[in-house]
Structure 1
Amino acid sequence: MRFEEPDGQNRWDSPLIPIGYDDKQLPFDTIWEAIVLKKGPKPNHATVMKPAVGTNFLQELDKNTTMVVNEIVQYQNLGNPVGGEVLVRNVKGDGEQYRVIMPAHSVSIAQLQRMRRTYVSLNRMRNVESGRIVPLFVEYLNHAFEHES
């Protein structure tokens, strides 16, 4: 309920084009320059739009990481040697197979689920193509198993 006189030095009052009530001629050139010809502010974090993430990205992330964990559990349940390699196929993307290099000891389901949850929470806000989820998760597991030994 207070009135502050406009000030052209303030960002919210700029551009300030004063027009008196008794002015016979309006400054159309100045108005045109201020509205149309003035360049906008430089893009910054608040004004740049982020690329849209697929609406089902979290579902894809969860499904693909669960599939990799299930492949590892199945490999261990079949009595395969400890320290072997698990081949995981990428359902999305290139259809290639990726190698999960298992550590010299068996890995419990709880450990695998913990690693999966950590990976999902790390990548929840990240913008990753669905075809790259499995290769990146396999790389994450290999790195974790390498440093665990």
Structure 2
Amino acid sequence: MFERPDSRNRWDSPLFELWPSRDGIEKSSAAIVDAIMYLTKKVDSKTRDVKVLQPTLATQNARITEATPLYEMDRATQEVINMIVEAQSQAMGGPLSGVSLGPGLATIDISWPFGLPELLRLRRTFIKLTGQSSLSGPPPPSDADSAKRMFADYLNRELGNG
């Protein structure tokens, strides 16, 4: 089906109508050819009339930081969970005196073994609480040691040992 071009439609604009049977087309054909050439010419950086666009906030790429605070929190809490699971597997179901997270960090006191689902639930809850409190208070810790320290305090409090 053929749709007749209409100059009011933006996809038909600018609309140049050529009527070969009418007189005077030769007079305006040079202007039409110039306009078509201008609109369809290939633009490159060597053309003089091209304006170089300066980057704006909308066109700049976002800076990629090493890690976001949420990523650091996620990674640090996963490391703590892995340490607890490893300590529990080495104890072979026996009592644990505590899980050390490293020098300068708190020890997690666990009196009986916890399953991985329970630890993961506590981890998810901690991350949600930290994210919610960062909206109204200080931002979440951006380094792994602070995140581990906060998570250890949270676990000791939730497990009834803190």
TM-score w.r.t. the length of structure 1 is: 0.53
Q: Where has structure 1 moved over 4 Å in runs of 4 or more?
A: none
Match of 2:79 in 1: 67
Aligned-partner Cα distance in 1 for 2:83–2:90: 11
Aligned: 1:142 with 2:156: yes
Q: In the TM superposition, what whole-angstrom CA distance separates every residue of 1:16-64 from its partner, at most 9, and x where no partner exists?
A: xxxxxxxxxxxxxxxxxxxxxxxxxxxxxxxxxxxxxx96111100000
Which one of 96, 109, 118 corresponds to residue 101 of structure 1?
109
Match of 2:100 in 1: 87
Aligned-partner Cα distance in 1 for 2:156–2:117: 17
Aligned-partner Cα distance in 2 for 1:114–1:136: 16
Match of 2:41 in 1: none
TM-score w.r.t. the length of structure 2 is: 0.49
Q: Alignment partner of 1:140: what SS?
A: helix
Aligned residues: 88
Which one of 76, 88, 93 corresponds to residue 76 of structure 1?
88
Higher radius of gyration, 1 or 2: 2
Between Structure 1 and Structure 2, the one with more strand by share is 1
Aligned-partner Cα distance in 1 for 2:75–2:113: 23
Aligned-partner Cα distance in 1 for 2:147–2:91: 28
Q: Is the 8 A contact 2:99 2:110 kept in 1?
A: yes
Compute the displacement of 1:69 (Å): 0.5
Q: Alignment partner of 1:68: what SS?
A: helix
The percentage of counterpart residues that share the same residue type is: 23
Aligned-partner Cα distance in 2 for 1:59–1:106: 28
Aligned: 1:119 with 2:126: yes
RMSD across aligned C-alpha pairs, in angstroms?
2.0
Where structure 1 has 5 or more consecutive residues not aligned to the other structure, the ranges are 1-53, 90-94
